[in-house]
Structures are given as C-alpha cells and as structure tokens.
C-alpha cells in the first residue's frame, strides 16, 4: 500500500548503507518496493515500470549512493517524479466566453451533480462569479430535483425545462437566459449511464459541438481503479475533454487513479472532490498528491 512508502524507502536505504554494499542491484531491489506500492494502488503495470526505471536512472545519476542521507534523497526523487507524472503544475480553468460554458461529463454516480454545485459555489464565493446551473440530465426527474437541492444550498439559480428532452435546446436556451440575466458562467450537468453507451456518447458529443464549451470536464470516481482509466479513455476519445475531476478522494486511500488517468489520457486533473459537502472541493496539486501517495 501507499502508506508510509517514504518511511519504507528511507528504511531500506539506511539498511543498505549500513551494510556498506549499496549497488545498482540494491537500488533496483528498493525500487521494487515503489513498484509494488504503485501496483497496489491500481497503477497500470507499464506506467509503474517506466516510472521506476526513470527513478532508478535519476538516482544513480545523482549519486544518491554516496549521499549523506540517501534515503531522504531517494524520497525526494520519487516525490518529484510522481508529481511530474501527474502533470507537475496545477492547471486552472480557462473561462473566456461571455458567458463561459463548462460542460460536465461522466458516468452516472461519478459525482457530476455534486461537483457542478461545488464548482458553482467555488466560482461564486472565491472568484465572485455569477454562475447558472443547467439541468441536462433529462432522463431522471430525480436528477433535476437533486441539482435544484444543491443549487438552493449554495444560492445559485438553476435553468431547467420540465417537459423537454432535447438537451441541445435546453442548453442553448439556458445560455440565452444567462446572457439576459447576466450570468457569466454556465455549468451544464449532463446525464450519465452506468456504463459507457453509444446513445449517451452521441448525446453529449452533439451537445458539446452545439454549445462549444470553454471547458469540458470529465468527472470520475477515484475509487473505481482501472475502470476509471478505461472510462476516461473512452470519454476522451469521443469528447477530447479539457480536464479531469477526481471525486471521492476522501474514500480513496490509494490515489493510483490520478497517476494512471493522467498518463493514459494526458489531460490535466483539475479538481478533486473530497466529500459530499459543497465545500469539499480542491484544486488538484500534483505535488500534494505525491505527498499523499508517499504517506
Ligand atoms: P452523478 O450521477 O454523476 O450526478 O453523481 P452525484 O453527484 O449524484 O453523486 C453520486 C453520489 O456520490 C452522491 O451520493 C454524492 O453525495 C456522492 N459524492 C459525490 N462526490 C463525492 C465526494 O467527493 N466524496 C464522497 N464521499 N461522496 C461524493
């Protein structure tokens, strides 16, 4: 597991140093620990292998073996490489349209509606924006109701059309309303299915092409491991989304989804969800995630 990976690294290097026979082979042995931890965390095998190979090269290149504190140095190398693997820097939202449009995508239950509310709340309270939430999950009346409940909690308006199932029309009407009422950000919550299906993909693709969003975000449950990676790939192939939102990180002790998704779809993770409350949202910081992974 990821817990105490840094302690493990430090310890194994101390032992090696004590024995006075640190060699390339010993380094490789220690890095097996890292690889095992990554695999335990559901990181794809190839990604884990490439990662440890890179770390090994760096470690040997930096002469970690003769360092006074090789363990700590090793932890730093692993930390920096992990952060790099997850994109290095935080990537924010590009909201240039008037209004700016954000389209949410992802499977049912991934946390789209909750995140739409969290993001609206964050934009309202931290960036003094005036967002409008749009209910485009038209197949489940409960979904529209849920968005209204969330919106009421944060004091943000919702645009919905009770008897209309045409999401393109609803979204475009919502954008018109935003222009009239002075909402500078429009957040469109969409329908998800339990698994990727053609109808859902067609619908959201058509919606994306029609509203031309500033940001298309893919929302994914971080607890779903390798499935999360496959789903991310399928959505990205169709939507070419701009960023990923990793939800339910409060329940995920492993964090491997962050590494795998970033590596497979090469799109930045922009936000994380860390609970059910409206305030449980954070901008994604690769370095902090690396800290968390190292434990
Ligand atoms: P949607 O179907 O994609 O719109 O998903 P919902 O927003 O309805 O979320 C599904 C469930 O996950 C709900 O019970 C949410 O309260 C819960 N949820 C969403 N985000 C988080 C999170 O970051 N942490 C936790 N623990 N639960 C979350």
Q: Is 113 annotated as a binding residue?
A: yes
Residue 35: closest CA among 259, 278, 264, 212: 259
* pLDDT for 3: 44
* pLDDT for 278: 97
User: In angstroms, what is the span from residue 273 Cα to ligand 1's centroid?
Assistant: 9
User: In angstroms, what is the span from residue 69 Cα to ligand 1's centroid?
Assistant: 43
Whose C-alpha lies nearest to ligand 1, atom 5? 111
CA 258 – CA 265 distance, rounded (Å): 11
CA 186 to chain centre: 21
Q: Please tell me if the CB atom of residue 117 comes closer than 6 angstroms to any atom of ligand 1.
A: no
Residue 191: closest CA among 116, 257, 253: 116
Cβ contact 178:97 at 8 Å: no
Cβ contact 131:186 at 8 Å: yes
User: In angstroms, what is the span from residue 114 Cα to ligand 1's centroid?
Assistant: 6
**ipTM beyond 0.85?**
yes
pLDDT tens-digit readout, 230-259: 999 999 999 999 999 999 998 865 677 888
* pLDDT for 179: 98
- Spans in the chain with pLDDT lower than 70: 1-6, 8-26, 63-68, 70, 252-254
pLDDT tens-digit readout, 150-181: 999 999 999 999 989 999 999 999 999 999 99
Q: Which of 247, 251, 253 to mutate to test the pocket of ligand 1 (most atoms within 8 A of CB)?
A: 247
* pLDDT for 18: 53
Q: Is 140 annotated as a binding residue?
A: no
Q: Please tell me if the CB atom of residue 276 comes closer than 6 angstroms to any atom of ligand 1.
A: yes
* pLDDT for 16: 54
Provide CB contacts within 8 A for 283, sequence distance 6+. 90, 92, 270, 271
User: In angstroms, what is the span from residue 109 Cα to ligand 1's centroid?
Assistant: 6
CA 204 – CA 108 distance, rounded (Å): 13
User: In angstroms, what is the span from residue 195 Cα to ligand 1's centroid?
Assistant: 16
* pLDDT for 20: 46
CA 82 – CA 144 distance, rounded (Å): 39
Whose C-alpha lies nearest to ligand 1, atom 6? 111
Q: Please tell me if the CB atom of residue 247 comes closer than 6 angstroms to any atom of ligand 1.
A: yes
Residue 289 C-beta-side C-alpha neighbours within 13 Å: 33
Question: Which structure tokens are listed for 77?
Answer: 């190398």
CA 245 – CA 192 distance, rounded (Å): 15
């Amino acid at each position: 597991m990821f817990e105490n990976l840094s302690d493990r690294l430090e310890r194994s290097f101390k032992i090696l140093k004590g024995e006075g026979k640190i060699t390339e082979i010993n380094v490789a042995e220690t890095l097996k620990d890292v690889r095992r931890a990554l695999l335990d965390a559901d990181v794809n095998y190839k990604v884990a292998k490439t990662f440890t190979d890179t770390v090994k090269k760096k470690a040997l290149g930096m002469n970690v073996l003769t360092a006074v504190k090789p363990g700590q140095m090793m932890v730093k190398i692993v930390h920096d490489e992990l952060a790099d693997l997850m994109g290095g820097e935080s990537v924010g939202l590009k909201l240039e349209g008037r209004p700016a449009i954000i389209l949410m995508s992802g499977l049912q239950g991934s946390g789209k509606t909750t995140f739409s509310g969290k993001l609206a709340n964050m934009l309202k309270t931290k960036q003094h924006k005036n967002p409008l939430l749009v209910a485009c999950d038209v197949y489940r009346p409960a979904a529209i109701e849920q968005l209204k409940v969330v919106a009421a909690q944060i004091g943000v308006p919702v645009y919905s059309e009770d008897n209309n199932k045409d999401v393109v029309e609803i979204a475009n009407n919502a954008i018109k309303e935003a222009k009239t009422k002075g909402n500078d950000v429009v957040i469109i919550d969409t329908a998800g299915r339990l698994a990727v299906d053609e109808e859902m993909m067609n619908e959201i693709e058509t919606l994306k092409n029609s509203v031309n969003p500033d940001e298309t975000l893919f929302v994914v449950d971080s607890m779903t491991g390798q499935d999360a990676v496959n789903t991310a790939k399928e959505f990205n192939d169709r939507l070419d989304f701009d960023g990923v939102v990793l939800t339910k990180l409060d329940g995920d002790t492993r964090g491997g989804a962050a590494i795998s998704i970033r590596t497979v779809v090469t799109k930045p993770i922009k936000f994380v969800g860390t609970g059910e409350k409206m305030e449980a949202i954070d901008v994604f910081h690769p370095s902090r995630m690396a800290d968390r992974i190292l434990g």
